[in-house]
């Protein structure tokens, strides 16, 4: 039995807790489920007032945010490309993905995509605090998943040794079919 049972919540910082709740409710139909506010950080005892909000992003998966009014304005890791750190959320269908894209654009939100990643298609955009979000719709077949599962350790080990992209799954990018594996 696995020690871990799943994600309890993922927490980020936000610029404005109220605006964040309103944005996620309006644009992603997420539920606001909990707010906690304290003047002292329970884990450190530090005097630091905060608002901690919890948003259900589907299926009991919780996305949480902290508003920290006494801290300097939030920034991002300048050594990491902006496309790297993001939160990917699953949608049920391409129709939902495309409808959400149109709704976001109609509300003045810039959207990239859909981008075809072979295994899934995605759109990308930013929330009001500058967090990059991805909405993804799975498009993988069982054959694709079996082929990738078959080479995952070889790919990881080759990457660890060379820091160059392994070619075990080049079919994902060249339009060819994945190999048959048992």
Structural domains of the chain, with CATH:
1-69 (3.10.180.10), 142-174 (no CATH)
The rounded mean pLDDT for the chain is 94
Distance, in Å, from the CA atom of 114 to the CA atom of 136, rounded to the nearest integer, reads 9
What is the pLDDT, as a whole number, of residue 106? Answer: 98
What is the pLDDT, as a whole number, of residue 74? Answer: 84
pLDDT digits 0-9 by tens, 14-36: 999 999 999 999 999 999 999 99
**Do residues 129 and 14 lie in contact, with contact meaning Cβ atoms separated by under 8 Å?**
yes
pLDDT digits 0-9 by tens, 119-173: 999 999 999 999 999 999 999 999 999 999 999 999 999 999 999 999 999 999 8
What does pTM read for this prediction? 0.91
pLDDT digits 0-9 by tens, 49-101: 999 999 999 999 999 999 999 999 888 888 898 898 999 999 999 999 999 99
Phi, psi at residue 161, to the nearest 5°? -80, -30
């Amino acid at each position: 039995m696995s020690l871990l049972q799943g994600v309890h919540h993922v927490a980020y910082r936000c610029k404005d807790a109220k605006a964040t709740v309103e944005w996620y409710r309006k644009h992603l139909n997420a539920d606001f489920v909990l707010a906690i506010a304290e003047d002292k950080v329970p884990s450190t005892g530090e005097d630091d007032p905060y608002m901690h909000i919890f948003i259900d992003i589907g299926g009991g998966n919780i996305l949480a945010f902290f508003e920290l009014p006494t801290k300097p304005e939030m920034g991002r890791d300048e050594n990491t490309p902006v496309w790297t750190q993001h939160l990917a959320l699953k949608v049920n269908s391409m129709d939902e993905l495309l409808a959400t894209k149109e709704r976001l654009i109609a509300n003045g939100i810039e959207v990239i995509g859909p981008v075809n990643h072979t295994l899934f298609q995605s759109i990308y955009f930013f929330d009001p605090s500058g967090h990059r979000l991805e909405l993804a719709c799975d498009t993988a077949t069982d054959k694709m998943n079996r082929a990738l599962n078959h080479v995952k350790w070889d790919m990881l080990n080759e990457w660890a040794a060379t820091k160059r992209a392994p070619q075990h799954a080049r079919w994902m990018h060249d339009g060819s079919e994945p190999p048959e594996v048992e």
